[in-house]
């Protein structure tokens, strides 16, 4: 939880092993009770003490950086067949209400992304902005793979539509979502590697940094 802070950040490390791979997502929004100005953002692992947020839990800081990765077989490199990525995140439960919102990361590779923007009830503040920033490329020494070789699909159990839209990393800063004040949002992102180019064997890595910023 972050009182008069203007931004909360969380990072996700991405790796392509011996080739290339990519992710996916989907979402949910709900109003929350107005209160002291606060921003909360969780990407993968997070901290919520005293139960879930809906029943009085308190968000805390968590410095864990989860990863998604894929190993592409030599015979599949550059084939154009997208390769699903796996993740070391184990989060399936929504910190909002304890609902099993994401499916098993071990089998689906889904990474939970959620949080809120809260203000006092009398505030006329505008919306917060969720964005992600990536470098231009994943790198392995002098070899590179464009970051736009990774995409994600957005989803969430029980959803009828997406919150964070499904998309592809742009390589740079990109806006993902406008978050209305006193709103909780969440999505499950499943990443995949588009696998459209031949690359030398190696471990290509890069980091996506998610930021929730309020006016």
**What confidence tens digit (pLDDT) does each residue in 88-118 have?**
999 999 999 999 999 999 889 999 999 999 9
Give pLDDT, residue 106: 87
Report the share of the chain in percent with pLDDT over 70.
87
Give pLDDT, residue 121: 82
**DSSP annotation string for 119-160:** --TT-----EEEEEE--SEEEETTEEEEGGGEEEEEE-TT-S
Please, which pLDDT band fits residue 12 given cuts at 50, 70 and 90? low
Give pLDDT, residue 159: 80
Please, which pLDDT band fits residue 5 given cuts at 50, 70 and 90? very low
Q: Which long-range contacts (CB under 8 A, 24 or more apart) does 58-66 make?
A: 58/1, 59/1, 59/95, 60/1, 65/11, 65/12, 65/13, 65/207, 66/12, 66/13, 66/111
What are the pLDDT digits (tens) for 110-134?
999 999 999 998 777 789 999 999 9
Q: Which position has the higher pLDDT, 9 or 199?
A: 199
| Pairing between β-strand 7-17 and β-strand 66-71 as defined by DSSP bridges | parallel
- Over 60: is that where the pLDDT of 21 sits? no
Q: Which position has the higher pLDDT, 122 or 150?
A: 150
Torsion angle, alpha carbons of 100, 71, 164, 186, to 10: 30
- Over 50: is that where the pLDDT of 24 sits? no
């Amino acid at each position: 939880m972050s009182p008069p802070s203007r931004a909360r950040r969380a990072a996700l490390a991405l790796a392509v092993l011996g080739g290339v791979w990519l992710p996916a997502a989907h979402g949910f929004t709900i109003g929350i009770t107005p209160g002291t100005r606060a921003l909360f953002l969780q990407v993968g692992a997070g901290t919520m003490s005293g139960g879930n947020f809906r029943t009085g839990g308190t968000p805390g800081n968590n410095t864990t950086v989860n990863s998604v990765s894929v190993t592409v077989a030599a015979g599949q490199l550059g084939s154009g067949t997208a390769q699903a990525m796996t993740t070391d995140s184990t989060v399936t439960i929504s910190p909002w209400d304890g609902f099993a919102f994401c499916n098993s990361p071990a089998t689906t590779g889904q990474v939970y992304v959620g949080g809120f923007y809260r203000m006092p009830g009398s505030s006329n503040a505008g919306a917060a902005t969720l964005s992600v920033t990536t470098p231009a490329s994943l790198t392995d020494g002098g070899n590179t793979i464009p970051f736009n070789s990774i995409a994600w699909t957005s989803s969430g159990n029980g959803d009828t539509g997406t919150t964070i839209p499904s998309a592809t990393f742009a390589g740079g800063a990109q806006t993902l979502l406008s978050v209305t004040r006193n709103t909780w949002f969440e999505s499950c992102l499943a990443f995949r590697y588009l696998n459209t180019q031949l690359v030398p064997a190696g471990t290509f890595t890069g980091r996506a940094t998610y930021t929730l910023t309020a006016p």
